[in-house]
Amino acid sequence: MNDDFRSQVEAQRPYLLRYASLQLRDRAAAEDAVQETLVAALAGEAGFGGRSNLRTWLTGILKHKIIDAIRKGSRETAIESDEALEALFDANGHWVAFPPAWDHPDRSLEDKQFLAVLELCLEGLPEKTARAFMMREHLGLETDEICKELGITSTHCWVLLYRARMALRKCLEMNWFEKQ
Amino acid sequence: MKLLSCKEATSLVSQGLDRRLGLVERLNVRLHLLVCDGCSRVARQFAFMRKAVRQLGERES
């Protein structure tokens, strides 16, 4: 593959993301649509052939991906944005506050008070997020079973599980590990 | 191969607990964790939380 073409395509990502976000109003769905567009573009380099402006060509592909996302979205509730998660990172995706180490976490497992804090933190998760997380981590179900049960796609499922883990670690940090 | 941001890295670490990552994803994550203490801690914390949540309810009474 032509590396020069790849970097030119990659350089259009921020523009495409703004374009998709404006129409989908959902960051995760917009990121998915853009990712699919870039993959399709790189696979179909020959289709471009320098005939038109690269951005115009990419936007053309993205439009189809957005329509797909909207159609899919009408069947599935959109993933609402998670402000608490967004606040952990700056615009470049770097930590705003570097996560501290936890002191002897395994010792906490023997501590009843820790288990009480853990349960409180789990109760604080949004309902669907908590269900996905407990099905995965407590019951040990595979993602595809969880998706079927909750009526969501696997991508949505991974997003929920990521959010659950990030929210839970923040909660445990604030209410337990920082106090030790 | 591109350098992951901390947000992308932690998201992939999380996904690695739920699905088998691709080769490139695994390499990218490993490379990131090698140079990033913060994300390495989070990776260990995710694993610890799995252990803690899995044994919830086993120590009642």
Query: Does residue A173 share a domain with residue A90?
Result: yes
Roughly what angle, to the nearest 10 degrees, separates helices A154-175 and B37-54? 90
CATH number of the domain to which A140 belongs: 1.10.10.10
The structural domain count of chain A equals 2
Give the 3-state secondary structure of residue A3. helix
pLDDT in tens, A138-167: 889 999 999 888 888 999 999 999 999 999
A120 and A158 belong to one structural domain: yes
CB pair distance less than 8 Å for B14 and A165:
yes
Q: How confident is the model at residue B61 (pLDDT cuts 50, 70, 90)?
A: very low
The domain locations on chain B are 6-54
Q: Give tens-digit pLDDT for A71-100.
A: 776 555 556 778 889 999 999 999 999 999
Partner residue opposite A168 with nearest CB, options B49, B51, B54: B49
Looking at residue A79, its pLDDT comes to 64
- Residue A170 clears pLDDT 50, i.e. is over it: yes
**Letter string b/e over residues A106-140, b meaning 16 or more CB atoms within 10 A of that residue's CB:** eebeeeeebbebbeebbeebeebbbbbbbbbbeee
- Report the alpha-carbon distance of residue A39 to residue A46 in Å, rounded: 13
Of A99, A109, A137, the CB nearest to B42: A99
Q: Are residues A102 and A58 in the same domain?
A: no
**Is residue B57 scored above 90 in pLDDT?**
no
* Tens digit of each residue's pLDDT (9 = 90 or more) over A23-50: 777 788 889 999 999 988 888 876 777 7
Query: Tens of pLDDT along A131-141?
Result: 899 999 988 99
Residues of A in contact with B42 (CB under 8 A): 99, 169
The answer to whether residues A22 and A41 belong to one domain is yes
- Could you give the dihedral angle defined by the CA atoms of residues B55, B56, B58 and B61, in that order, rounded to the nearest 10 degrees? 150
Domain that holds residue A91: 83-179
More confidently predicted of B41 and A21: B41
Is residue A69 located within the same domain as residue A87? no
Residue at a domain's end among A21, A42, A75: A75
* Predicted confidence (pLDDT) per residue in B9-35, tens digit: 999 999 999 999 999 999 999 999 999
